[in-house]
Chains A and B, each alone.
Chain A
Amino acid sequence: MKHLKQLFWISDNNGQHKKISRPAALFNLLLVAALWVALFWFSLRTIQIRLDFTFLGEFRIRIWNGFLATLGLSLFSLIFSLLIGILSAAGQSSSVLFIRFFCSVYVKFIRGTPLIMQIYLFFYIVGTAWGVSNRFIAGVLILSIFEGAYIAEIIRGSLLSLEESQLEAARAVGFSRRQTWRFVILPQMITRTLPALTGQFASIIKDSSLLSIIAVIELTQTMREISAVNFRLFECYLFLGILYLCLTLPVSLISERLERRFQYEN
C-alpha cells in the first residue's frame, strides 16, 4: 500500500526537499502520455479520420525551409526587440518628458492591442509607406515592435526591484557611476531578467506564426499552403505543433533552470 502511494504522491521526506523518484516520474509521465493519446485517438475515431503522415516526406524540403525561416525570424526579432525593450525601458525613466511619454504610450498601446491587429496595421505602414517590400524584414520589424514592449516591462520591473541599499553601498565603496553600472546594476539586472527574457523568446517563436497572415513564408504559412493542397489538415497542424514544441520546449527548460539557479543566489 505504501509502495503504491509512493508511485503517485510526492513523498514529504521529513520536511526536506520534496523529491520525486525516477521510476515514479517515468510511470506518471507515461500515464499522462497514454491519456493524451487516448483522447486524441478517440476524438479522431469519432469523426472517422485516419491519420496518415506519409505525405510529409514529399514536402520535407519546404517544411525544413519553413522551420529555418521561423527560427531566423525569431532570432532576429529577439535581437531587435531586446534593443527596443532596453531603449524604451530606459526612456520610461527619462527625465525628458517627451521621451518618457513617447515610450510609455508605445508600451501601453502595444500591450493593450492584439498582435493580429498590429500586424495588419503595421504591415501597411511599414510595408507600404516605408517601402519595405521584403516580407521577412517587415515580419521581423513588426514582431520586434510587438515583443519590445513586453521586454521593456521585464527590464523596467527588474530596474525597480534594485534595492536602494545596493546603490548606496556602491557609492560607499567609491564606485563611479560607470563602475556602479558595470559591477552592480548590470550583473544584478541580468540575473533577474534572464529567466523572464528566455521565456519571452519562447513567446516570440510562437507569436511569429501569426506573421503567416501577411504571407511571410515561415513554418505556419508553409503548413497552411501544404494543407491547402492535400487537405490533410489534422496531420499538418499536429506536425506543426510538434515542430514548434521542438523549439519552445528547450527554451522553456533553459528558462526554468536559470530561474532555479538564480533563486539560490538571492
Chain B
Amino acid sequence: MKIKFQNLSKQYEPEHVILNPMDFEDEVHTLAVIGPSGGGKSTLLRIIGGLIAPTTGKLWVDSDEIRQNEASLQQYRKTIGFVFQQGGLFRHMSALDNIAVPLEQVHGYSRTKSRSRALELLERFGLKEDAGKKPAALSGGQQQRVAIARAVAAQPKLLLLDEPTSALDPEYTTEVLNVIRELKEEGMRFIIVTHEMGFARHACDKAAFLCEGSLLEYGESAQLFAHPETEQLQRFLGKLLEWNV
C-alpha cells in the first residue's frame, strides 16, 4: 500500500513543535517506527490514523488523499485498525462487546454476525473463556490481544499499533508480538511504533527512525539496524544494546 506525505508537520503552539515538516513516499507492508521517547512517533501514527490533524501538509494512503474534515475522516477511520498503548478498550463493555458493538454499529454487521465474528476472533487469540469479562478483569496482555482483535475485526486495509507492548510485562509482550507476527503472515499490513527492537528488526520489512520530530532514517529493517548512518541512530541503538544479554 502506498503511503505518501508532503510537507507534513505538527505543532501545538508556535514554540511547541512535535513534527518538523517531512516528506515521505513508499510502498508499505510492515513498517516499524522507532526512536527516542518524545520524538513524535505517536503523533505521526495518529495523523496517519486520522485521529489528529496535521498543522501543515498533505497525506495520502493507498493513493487517496486524507481530507481533514470530520465526515470524511470518519469514513477513513472505518478502514483503519488502531491499537493504543493502553486503555483503548471501552471499560464498560465486555471483551466480546468491545469487538461486536463497533462491527454492528459502524460496519453494519447484523447482531448475530457481529457476535459470531467477535467470538471467532477471541477464540483465535486464545480468549474464548474471557469473552464476557470487562477489561479490568483481564491481564494487560489479554487486553491488548482483545484490542488487536477489535482492530482487525472489520478487515482494515491498514493496522496501526502505538507501542502495543510498552505497558506490559515481558511474558505478555511476547504473546502480543506473536499475535502481530501471525497477522503479518496472513498478509495484514501494519505500522507499529515500538521499543521492541528485535521485533522491529526481524518482523518488519521496513523501519523508520524518528528523532526530535524529524524522520532521520528510513529503509529496509535489516539494513537500517545493521548499518545505521546517522549519529543519532547509532547512539540510540548503542544505548539499547548496553544492557543486552
Contacts and interface: CB of A to CB of B under 8 A. Distances in A.
A131 interface: no
Contacts of A173: 77, 82, 102, 106, 150
A188 B74 contact: no
A187 B94 CA distance: 13
A179 B91 contact: no
Interface string A47-65: 0000000000000000000
A174 B92 contact: no
User: On chain B, which size bracket covers the interface?
Assistant: 20 to 34
Interface string B46-85: 0001010000000000000000000000100110101010
A175 interface: yes
Given A163-B87, A166-B87, A171 B51 contact: yes
A172 B49 contact: yes
B131 interface: no
A165 B136 CA distance: 15
Interface in A147-189: 163, 165-166, 168-176, 179, 183-184, 187-188
Contacts of B84: 165, 168-169, 172
Nearest to A171: B51
A172 B84 CA distance: 10
B116 interface: no
A194 B74 CA distance: 32
Contacts of A169: 82, 84, 87-90
B117 interface: no
Given A166-B90, A188-B91, A174 B136 contact: no
A26 to B, nearest CB: 34
B61 to A, nearest CB: 15
Contact of B74 (A163, A174, A184, A191): A174
Nearest to B76: A174
Contact of B105 (A179, A188, A266): A179
Interface residues on A, range: 20 to 34
Nearest to A186: B92
Contact of A179 (B87, B106, B136, B150): B106
Contacts of A168: 51, 84, 88
B68 to A, nearest CB: 13
B92 A187 contact: yes
Interface in A182-233: 183-184, 187-188, 191
A183 B89 CA distance: 13
Contact of B134 (A175, A179, A183, A265): A265
A163 B90 CA distance: 10
Given A169-B84, A183-B105, A187-B92, A174 B134 contact: no
Contacts of B105: 175, 179, 183
Contacts of A171: 51, 77
Given A173-B106, A179-B105, A265 B77 contact: no
A172 B77 contact: yes
A169 B101 CA distance: 13
Interface string B85-109: 0111111100000000110011100
Nearest to A187: B92
A191 B102 contact: no
Which of A172, A265, A266 gathers the greatest number of chain B CB atoms within 10 Å? A172
Most buried by B among A173, A175, A187, A188: A173
B37 to A, nearest CB: 18
A183 B101 CA distance: 8
A179 B106 CA distance: 9
B80 to A, nearest CB: 8
A168 B84 CA distance: 9
Contact of B102 (A163, A165, A175, A187): A175
Nearest to B105: A179
B160 to A, nearest CB: 9
Contacts of B51: 168, 171-172
A158 to B, nearest CB: 13
Interface string A109-136: 0000000000000000000000000000
Contacts of B134: 265
A173 B134 CA distance: 18
Interface in A239-266: 265-266
B136 A266 contact: yes
6 contacts: A165-B84, A168-B88, A174-B102, A175-B105, A183-B90, A188-B92
